[in-house]
Structure 1
Amino acid sequence: MFAGSLTRNPIIALSLLTLTLLLAGCSGSKSSDMGGYSGAVYTVKRGDTLYRISRTTGTSVKDLARLNNLSPPYTIEVGQKLKVNGGSSTAKNSASSKTKTAKVTPSYAVPQSSWPPVGQRCWLWPASGKVVMPYSTSEGGNKGIDISAARGTPVYASGAGKVVYVGDQLRGYGNLIMIKHGEDYITAYAHNDTMLVNNGQNVKAGQKIATMGSTGTDSVKLHFQIRYRATAIDPQRYLPAQGSKPKC
């Protein structure tokens, strides 16, 4: 799925695959999410991700993949009809497969109790604007924050690091940039209009890397994530107050 030297680096490839599977879809309007759902079958529409469909239908991502014979990176097409279940049947399936789920839980998943301490790294706000959707701990919830501002608003690197992905191959994220910060952290910047950096480029904290846009979504905003050992953590827990500099 990822071209060039990235696919030859197993650490970066693993990080990118993790983002493919775990990046929460950036939400559009709630009413548009309901289109195409008839109870037992969901018809895929533009901008859908497996996680958005999971939230709409009440069917876990795991069950959607199982019912429809989907394999990572769970590519779906507009107009595709997906089998779904919901409510008690989903709970029953989840309960019956609890042991199996435990066996395939990735070793790099970090529970919230093990998140890094605040101040371990200095992070800068990636853009000026209003946080219109915060981080969510719920399954299938927003695994970052959405910042709304005018089209063309500068997007900045939240920390110094190396650009490991620039592209639009991840459905639902539009023009996406990912930056690796040492061995433990990756930041992601989605829905950009213009992208100003290249794969493999080293960037400084606060360097302008893109401009805000609406690619892959229905409104102008930046979807921003901080990932610690491939697990999404709440950016607002680690960012300074908006408009101020980090104290670390």
Structure 2
Amino acid sequence: MRKESIFNRWHIIAFIIMTSLMLTACSSSKSAKSTRNEGTFSGAVYTVKRGDTLSKISRMTGSSVGELARLNGIPAPYTIQVGQRIRIKGSGAASRPKNTATAKNSAPSRSQNTTIAKVAPPPVGARCWLWPTKGNIIEPFSDSDGGNKGIDISGSRGQPIYASGAGTVVYVGNQLRGYGNLVMIKHSEEYITAYAHTDTMLVNTGEKVKAGQKIATMGSTGADSVRLHFQIRYRATAIDPQRYLKPSC
């Protein structure tokens, strides 16, 4: 699902987002039956193998893309990696496939005591990231299961939100439940930033933005108070923004 090189990158990402959202609205029970033997489950956890996408996993497990994204803190465009463990809501949705021999050959399960290597975070200072807005941090980053995969910053409705770095806008919308009005910017093949719960979104998909450019205003869409939920993703893995943000570059 990542690093396609033939077409314009943001066109591909936009297509993947729309495809995933369409799949969320459809029943996946029939597809789950036809693809039951393609993955590896351990309890309520699915281990990603080569060629998997979040859409494919949703069909196999009978879960929606949106539900899997929320449970695992995966923002659009739903990039996942080989070996990543995807939590499935409820053990019933994650029943072990009948063809266990095929499953064991495709990817390791938890019962095999295989350790999945985590992506090492980038060194501090390797890239300059600007603070996206002013305010107090009301919810810090947490890398625990189900933890906050970004930081939540309080502020006033209509307060400016700025691009943390230069890049291309790859998503503008509110189809991902729990994030409200969401803007996502791709900065390179390794980095994506996300700006959630915004009020007014001031950029369009495919637009090039500069570091510090105003891209939205603060709001409370998808939240119970006015705030900005901000994420930095490195190679699809959420990293603690506070370690990398600087007042100026």
State the TM-score, normalized to the length of structure 2: 0.60
Offset at residue 229 of structure 1 (A): 1.1
Q: What amino acid does structure 2 have at the position aligned with 1:184?
A: E
Contact (CA 8 Å) 1:163, 1:203: kept in 2 or not? yes
1:111 pairs with one of 114, 118, 138: 118
Offset at residue 13 of structure 1 (A): 6.0
Contact (CA 8 Å) 1:110, 1:231: kept in 2 or not? no
Offset at residue 69 of structure 1 (A): 2.7
Quick one: percent identity of the two aligned structures?
Answer: 59
Segments of 5+ residues of structure 1 without an aligned counterpart are 21-58, 77-82
- Residues 66-107 of structure 1: CA deviation (Å, up to 9, x unaligned): 9x831434389xxxxxx847xxxx9xx9xxx99987469xxx
What's the counterpart of residue 162 of structure 1?
A: 168
- Say whether 1:188 aligns with 2:198: no
Once residues 71 and 153 of structure 1 are traced to their aligned partners in structure 2, the CA distance between those partners, rounded to angstroms, is 34
What's the counterpart of residue 25 of structure 1?
A: none
Once residues 223 and 45 of structure 2 are traced to their aligned partners in structure 1, the CA distance between those partners, rounded to angstroms, is 21
Distance 1:217-1:229 versus aligned 2 partners, 3 A rule: same
Distance 1:102-1:210 versus aligned 2 partners, 3 A rule: farther
1:134 pairs with one of 132, 140, 165: 140
Once residues 239 and 161 of structure 1 are traced to their aligned partners in structure 2, the CA distance between those partners, rounded to angstroms, is 16
3-state SS in 1 of match to 2:141 = coil
What's the counterpart of residue 69 of structure 1?
A: 62
Distance 1:111-1:197 versus aligned 2 partners, 3 A rule: same
RMSD: 3.9
- Residues 145-171 of structure 1: CA deviation (Å, up to 9, x unaligned): 000111111000000000000000101
Once residues 115 and 13 of structure 1 are traced to their aligned partners in structure 2, the CA distance between those partners, rounded to angstroms, is 29
- Say whether 1:245 aligns with 2:248: yes
3-state SS in 2 of match to 1:142 = coil
1:202-217 to structure 2, matched below 5 A, reads: 202-217=208-223
Segments of 5+ residues of structure 2 without an aligned counterpart are 1-7, 22-42, 47-57, 70-88, 97-102, 111-115
What's the counterpart of residue 45 of structure 1?
A: none
What's the counterpart of residue 27 of structure 1?
A: none
Q: What amino acid does structure 1 have at the position aligned with 2:65?
A: P
Q: What amino acid does structure 1 have at the position aligned with 2:123?
A: P
Runs of 4+ in 1 over 2 A off after TM superposition: 5-8, 59-62, 71-76, 97-104, 109-112
1:16-55 to structure 2, matched below 5 A, reads: none
Q: What amino acid does structure 2 have at the position aligned with 1:172?
A: G
Distance 1:187-1:99 versus aligned 2 partners, 3 A rule: farther
Distance 1:71-1:170 versus aligned 2 partners, 3 A rule: closer
What's the counterpart of residue 157 of structure 2?
A: 151
Once residues 227 and 110 of structure 1 are traced to their aligned partners in structure 2, the CA distance between those partners, rounded to angstroms, is 17
State the TM-score, normalized to the length of structure 1: 0.60
Contact (CA 8 Å) 1:110, 1:229: kept in 2 or not? no
